[in-house]
């Protein structure tokens, strides 16, 4: 091989690697599993006071995200956002990450969360639990500059069950 062919091959590899990593991160985020760091001990009220979340990368390659947000809504009103900062997850493994909850109306959010936690644990129905919606959004800019995000919407009850899961694929 001549010098120009080697330089061309190296340049192609250098260009392909970032695109491949970004594409694999997008695929991996769709397969990401998560739960509260203490299985079976999740509550929305606890989440509103910050906390740790366990992230499980179920795919055999590294995935990265710039931001992971759990956005809670009750009756179409935003209750707050639980955010996790940039992270790279190793293949087929789990890690614990710190999250921060922010809300413009923290006391109102915590009151609603306490009531719904009581209901999800079998207590009397005082608020309609069907009005609690959770959106999980992961931001993964392609090559660090092209914005891309994945969004999943689930009911508050299903999110509660997911966060209280005893087993993840990485266990």
Please, what are the domains in the chain? 3-163 (2.60.40.10)
- φ, ψ (nearest 5 deg) of residue 18: -60, -40
pLDDT at 55 over 90: yes
Which residues fall within 8 angstroms of residue 66, CB to CB, at 6 or more apart?
Answer: 86, 139, 140, 141
Residues composing the chain: 171
Please indicate whether residue 155 or residue 20 has the higher confidence score (pLDDT).
155
**pLDDT value for 2:** 84
List pLDDT tens digits, range 136-163.
999 988 877 888 899 999 999 999 999 9
CA distance 161 to 145: 35
Non-local CB neighbours of 107 within 8 Å, separated by 6+ positions? none
In the three-class reduction of DSSP (H, G, I as helix; E, B as strand; rest coil), residue 105 is classed as: coil
CB atoms closer than 10 angstroms to residue 106: 14
23-60 as b/e: b if 16+ CB within 10 A: ebbbebbeebbbbbbeeeebbbbbbbeebebbbbbbbe
pLDDT at position 17, please?
87
Q: How far apart are CA 73 and CA 8, in angstroms?
A: 51
- Nearest in space to 106 (alpha carbons), one of 43, 38, 37, 47: 47
pLDDT recorded at residue 102: 96
Q: What confidence category does residue 25 fall into, taking pLDDT thresholds of 50, 70 and 90?
A: confident
Q: In 3-state terms, what secondary structure has residue 108?
A: helix
pLDDT digits (tens, 9 = 90+) for 77-131: 999 999 999 999 999 999 999 999 999 999 999 999 999 999 998 888 888 999 9
For residue 4, the model assigns a pLDDT of: 85
């Amino acid at each position: 091989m001549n010098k120009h062919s080697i330089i061309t091959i190296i340049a192609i590899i250098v260009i392909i690697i970032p695109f491949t990593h970004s594409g694999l991160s997008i695929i991996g985020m769709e397969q990401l599993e998560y739960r509260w760091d203490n299985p079976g001990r999740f509550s929305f009220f606890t989440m509103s006071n910050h906390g740790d979340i366990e992230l499980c990368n179920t795919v055999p390659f590294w995935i990265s995200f710039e931001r992971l947000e759990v956005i809670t809504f009750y009756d179409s009103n935003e209750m707050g956002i639980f955010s996790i900062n940039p992270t790279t997850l190793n293949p087929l493994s789990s890690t614990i990450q710190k999250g921060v909850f922010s809300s413009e109306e923290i006391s109102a959010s915590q009151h609603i969360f306490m009531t719904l936690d009581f209901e999800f644990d079998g207590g009397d129905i005082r608020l309609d639990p069907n009005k609690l919606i959770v959106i999980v959004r992961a931001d993964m800019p392609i090559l660090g500059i092209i914005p891309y995000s994945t969004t999943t919407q689930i009911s508050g009850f299903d999110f509660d069950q997911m966060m209280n899961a005893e087993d993840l694929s990485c266990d």
